[in-house]
Amino acid sequence: MIVPRTSRDAILAKLRAKVAAHLPIFIASAGSGLVAKLLEKAGVDCINTFSGARLRANGMGTMAMMWPILDSNQQTLDYTEQDILPALSGEAFVCACLNANDPLKDMRTVLQRLQSMGVMSVSNIGPSISYVDKDSNLYKVLVRSGITFENEVEMLTLAKEMGMATIALAFDMEDSLQVVEQARPDIFCFHAGTTRGGLVGYDSGEGIVETAHRTEEVFTAVRRVAPDTMLVCHGAAMETPQDTQYMLDQTSGHGFWTGSSTERLPIERAVLEAARAFASLKFKEGQRGDA
């Protein structure tokens, strides 16, 4: 197996060509090689890897990655190298989401490891402190202990200096402007919240209209700071293709990022439907099962 290689220049050239052609950029998360292969076959531009996606593949919710039960960066490095990259043909590039607040790893070394395996793009949600509400006591304790958004910004800045394509995520206006101003990412994604739907999705009660409204407010502000940055949307009420079409119609971004919507949710539906069909099978009347 020889894993295909790419470069920052090739990644950005492909994405900018889609923007110029008025075609949406499509980023999607994958927790297994099979999902990654199918996503690439469907035409996804970027396969995103992170510990939350791997946990989703094991039946847990994405936010299970927030609990201290695993080495998030090691999980991402291992399964990206062993499961995802060998499954791809090279049509899609891989973006690894890293935990920039890892107290046991030098992020320069982690980035070098990714480059050595052929990953030339990174993001900052593997996980991010932004998943924690800023007005909570937990957030204050984490920041006090050195777990900060600033570390994520610094990691993205370093990755770009090292010749990698960077995708920044933020959950509110303040962090969005900070990361764009300081890290100057190639792509910015506004994360509107955990995707609803399915067995373990979280429904905040927000509808697609409000998700689009909040996203466009951030896009407008970010564009004033960095007009050349490519913008994508993600999360909250963006559950179905119809929801995502609404986001494309009602916001001024350049594409979208799916997680559970193209991974956990369709797997749940397809496997349940197929398994229930098999589970409903019966022997012909009068026929013994051991005949």
Looking at residue 289, what is its pLDDT?
Answer: 55
pLDDT band at 238 (very low <50, low <70, confident <90, very high): confident
Tokens 């397809």 map to which residue?
A: 270
When the pLDDT of each residue in the chain is averaged and rounded to a whole number, the result is 91
Max avg pLDDT among 31-35, 61-65, 110-114, 197-201: 110-114
Mean pLDDT of 56-66: 74
Q: Is residue 197 part of a domain?
A: yes
Q: Give the other-Cβ count within 10 Å of 148's Cβ.
A: 15
Mean pLDDT of 59-81: 83
Domain that holds residue 113: 8-265
Reply yes or no on whether the pLDDT at 197 is more than 80.
no
Tokens of 100: 């920039």
Q: Is residue 1 part of a domain?
A: no
CA atoms within 13 A on the CB side of 23: 11
Looking at residue 260, what is its pLDDT?
Answer: 83
pLDDT band at 277 (very low <50, low <70, confident <90, very high): very high
Percent of the chain residues past pLDDT 70, beyond the cut: 95
Q: Is residue 270 part of a domain?
A: no
Looking at residue 271, what is its pLDDT?
Answer: 93
Q: Is residue 271 part of a domain?
A: no
Q: Is residue 287 part of a domain?
A: no
Q: Is residue 45 part of a domain?
A: yes
Q: Is residue 3 part of a domain?
A: no
Higher per-residue pLDDT: 66 or 214: 214
Looking at residue 70, what is its pLDDT?
Answer: 79
Distance CA 131, CA 289 (A): 52
Mean pLDDT of 2-14: 95
Looking at residue 56, what is its pLDDT?
Answer: 79
Percent of the chain residues past pLDDT 90, beyond the cut: 76
Give the range among 130-139, 221-230, 259-268 with minimum mean pLDDT: 259-268
- The values of phi and psi at residue 105, to 5°, are -135, 140
Tell me if 121 sits within 8 A of 90, measured CB to CB: no
Which residues are registered as beta bridge partners of 46?
27, 93
pLDDT band at 115 (very low <50, low <70, confident <90, very high): very high
Mean pLDDT of 111-129: 95
Mean pLDDT of 49-78: 82
Reply yes or no on whether the pLDDT at 21 is more than 70.
yes
**How many domains would you assign to the chain?**
1
Looking at residue 202, what is its pLDDT?
Answer: 52
Q: Is residue 289 part of a domain?
A: no
Tokens of 135: 């007005």
Task: State which H helix or E strand residue 95 sits in.
Answer: strand 93-97
Distance CA 151, CA 156 (A): 9
- The values of phi and psi at residue 247, to 5°, are -60, -40
Max avg pLDDT among 56-65, 150-159, 197-206, 233-242: 150-159
Looking at residue 286, what is its pLDDT?
Answer: 76
Looking at residue 199, what is its pLDDT?
Answer: 56
Classify residue 142 by burial, with Cβ atoms within 10 Å: 0-12, 13-18, 19+. middle
**pLDDT 10s digits, 221-235:** 999 999 999 999 998
| CATH of residue 34 | 3.20.20.70
Task: State which H helix or E strand residue 31 sits in.
Answer: none
Looking at residue 195, what is its pLDDT?
Answer: 67
Mean pLDDT of 131-152: 94
Max avg pLDDT among 231-240, 246-255, 257-266: 246-255
Tokens 């960095």 map to which residue?
A: 226
